[in-house]
Amino acid sequence: MIGIFDSGLGGLTAVKEMIKLSPDEELIYFGDTGRVPYGNRSSATITKYACQDAAFLLSKKVDAIVVACGTVSTTSLSHLKKTLPIPVIGVVEPSAEAAVKATKNGRIAVIGTAATIRSGAFEREIKKLSPDSEVITQACPLFVPLVENGFVQEDCEITRLAAEHYLSKIRESGADTLILGCTHYPIIAGVISKVLPNVTLISSGAEAAKKALEVLGKKESGGCGSVSYYVSDDPTMFVSNASLFLGGEINGTVEKININEY
Ligand code: DGL
């Protein structure tokens, strides 16, 4: 059983990929909807929340954890890896690998939350794999609230204006590949692509899911392919917006838990 967590809905981009690639997998998803967003908080707070999220998943007896959150992956992954007794997979390494493979001109852009960009983690990983790459980074703090509130349609004027504002530097840089370093961002990929046409987008959640299945091995059969969802606030909003991420209605139970007990 694989546990997946995020601050909110974004990690569902990893769940969707996981279901697509390994439909027999049993998954437990936790979205910390009561405390989203994480991206503008201090490193200490993000790590504290991440430890509680992981402790909840451990209490459900998961065999591995996918940190389907760019903010936690860039801020607290090494702490989680050191302290948890099971494999922990984050989004940074797999996304950097995919971007280095995809780029043709060696110019790779990364967008994410303020905490993610502040950490420099994507940049370090890309440079490790390809020292000659040019890396352009940009924090996009308004994207998560826009997505969590459903402003995701391709022709949404508010989101388009925010995208124009944040992405102009990347357009000018001539980057041909963009890592969506926050797992919420693939939901507004349509808007992003309008501002950055002909740029290859890398979904960090999907790349983490692929990597997890590579590392842990795909469940071939015998599982019933269930997903149990847990959130830390009223599930109503989560349920109504989850279909945007999953590309269909939630198929599984959604339960509210008290994350402060972990
Ligand atoms: N999906 C999270 C990430 O990938 C959202 C961040 C937030 O909660 O601000 O960074």
pLDDT above 80 (res 141): yes
CATH architecture, domain defined by 2-90+207-261:
3-Layer(aba) Sandwich (3.40)
Q: Cβ(196) to ligand 1 under 6 A?
A: no
What's the pLDDT tens digit per position in 30-54?
A: 999 999 999 989 999 999 999 999 9
Q: Which atom of ligand 1 is nearest to the CA of 181?
A: 4
End-to-end CA distance of the chain: 20
In this predicted model, what pLDDT tens digit does every residue of 230-261 receive, in sequence order?
A: 999 999 989 988 988 898 888 888 999 999 99
Q: Can 182 be counted among the known catalytic residues? A: yes
Quick one: pLDDT at residue 237? 86
- Edge to edge, what strands does the sheet with 27-31 contain? 88-89, 64-67, 2-6, 27-31, 227-231, 254-256
Give the global pTM.
0.94
- Cβ–ligand 1 distance for 203 under 6 Å, the answer no
Give per-residue pLDDT as tens, 109-138: 999 999 999 999 999 999 999 999 999 999
pLDDT at 256: 97
Q: Which atom of ligand 1 is nearest to the CA of 116?
A: 10
Domain boundaries, the chain: 2-90+207-261, 92-204
Candidate from 4, 5, 38 with most ligand 1 atoms within 8 A of CB, to mutate: 38
Calculate the CA 4 to chain-centre distance. Answer: 10
Does the beta carbon of 41 lie inside 6 Å of ligand 1?
no
Known catalytic residue at 69:
yes
Tell me the torsion sign for CA atoms 151, 152, 158, 164. positive
CA 4 – ligand 1 centroid, Å: 13
Whether the pLDDT of residue 219 is over 90: the answer is no
CA distance 257 to 137: 35
**92-204 and 2-90+207-261 share a CATH fold:** yes
Give yes or no for residue 36 CB within 6 A of ligand 1: yes
The arithmetic mean of pLDDT across residues 66-87, rounded, is 97
- 140 C-beta closer than 6 A to ligand 1: no
Q: Is 52's C-beta closer than 6 angstroms to any atom of ligand 1?
A: no
- What does the block give as tokens for 222? 């015998």
Q: Is 184 in the pocket of ligand 1 (CB under 6 A)?
A: yes
Q: Which residues pair with 31 in a beta bridge?
A: 6, 231
Calculate the alpha carbon distances from 69 to 50, 77, 82, 140, 196 in Å: 10, 10, 18, 15, 23
Best substitution site from 41, 45, 113 to test ligand 1's pocket, by max atoms within 8 Å of Cβ? 113
Query: Is residue 84 over pLDDT 80?
Result: yes
- The number of the ligand 1 atom at minimal distance from the alpha carbon of 71 is 10
Q: Report the C-alpha gap between 109 and 96 in whole angstroms.
A: 10
Report the pLDDT value the prediction gives residue 222, as an integer from 0 to 100. 59
* Tokens standing for residue 116: 């993610």
- What is the spatial distance between Cα 255 and Cα 234, in angstroms, rounded to a whole number? 9
Q: How far is the CA of 9 from the centre of ligand 1 (A)?
A: 9
Question: 92-204: which CATH number, 3.30.70.20, 1.10.3720.10, 3.40.50.1860, 3.30.450.20?
Answer: 3.40.50.1860
